[in-house]
Chain A
Amino acid sequence: AQTVTQSQPEMSVQEAETVTLSCTYDTSESDYYLFWYKQPPSRQMILVIRQEAYKQQNATENRFSVNFQKAAKSFSLKISDSQLGDAAMYFCAYRSATAGGTSYGKLTFGQGTILTVHP
């Protein structure tokens, strides 16, 4: 079974600065997808960024980028120029890409990291 670990229960950052959230995962599969979701106080889970494991190039979405290290099974999220609206709980998630596998389609989430942005 796959596991996802977020070792930072809480992080804080000053507005306009950069912060990195850590995520590691454990899997025996070679093909999979990784996601970062954001859950603000409204509780709506919002997709931030996603990465296909077979792609070596790190995904980027505006101020959000990832550092994907497949060998190390690490998938960190970097938020540049942090804004007050970035304050939320951030979840790292894993999904198998092995069609037909028992876990296909299942998102496995980490425990979450609460990000506070200070003005």
Chain B
Amino acid sequence: ETGVTQTPRHLVMGMTNKKSLKCEQHLGHNAMYWYKQSAKKPLELMFVYNFKEQTENNSVPSRFSPECPNSSHLFLHLHTLQPEDSALYLCASSQALLAGGLTDTQYFGPGTRLTVL
């Protein structure tokens, strides 16, 4: 595997379900990000982790719970979601925050298409 991978690629869940999205990066990076892409809206940053520490929570509802066990893996735990949470969830990674210059360029995974019924 190379780059940034995400599983599953598609997920359908009911509002009472609990599911998790997984992201893995094979680039030796130390910063990882979750973005939400909804129809007709710009990508929205949700969470940022740098060296496994959460550095940003962009006012995301608590029904989204991130977890970063190590610099290569990032999870997004989902519970009691709403239909408006249906979107494409994109994971990205970069070398590290404050690494300086364009080494902070973010590289994206293919996304998980989430549908909440």
Chain A residues in contact with chain B, CB under 8 A? 4, 33, 35, 37, 42-47, 50, 52, 91, 95, 99-100, 104-112
Interchain pairs with CB closer than 8 A, number:
60
Tell whether, in the assembled complex, residue A33 and residue B102 are in contact, meaning their CB atoms are under 8 Å apart: yes
Please give the distance in Å from B106's CB to the nearest CB on chain A: 6
Given contacts A99-B98, A112-B42, whether A105 and B104 have CB atoms under 8 Å apart is yes
Interface size on B, residues (CB 8 A): 30
Main secondary structure of the interface of A (DSSP, over half): strand
Q: Which residues of chain B come closer than 8 Å to A46, judged between CB atoms?
A: 108
Q: Which residues of chain A come closer than 8 Å to B104, judged between CB atoms?
A: 33, 95, 105
Q: Which residues of chain A come closer than 8 Å to B90, judged between CB atoms?
A: 45
What's the Cα separation between A46 and B41 when bound, in Å? 18
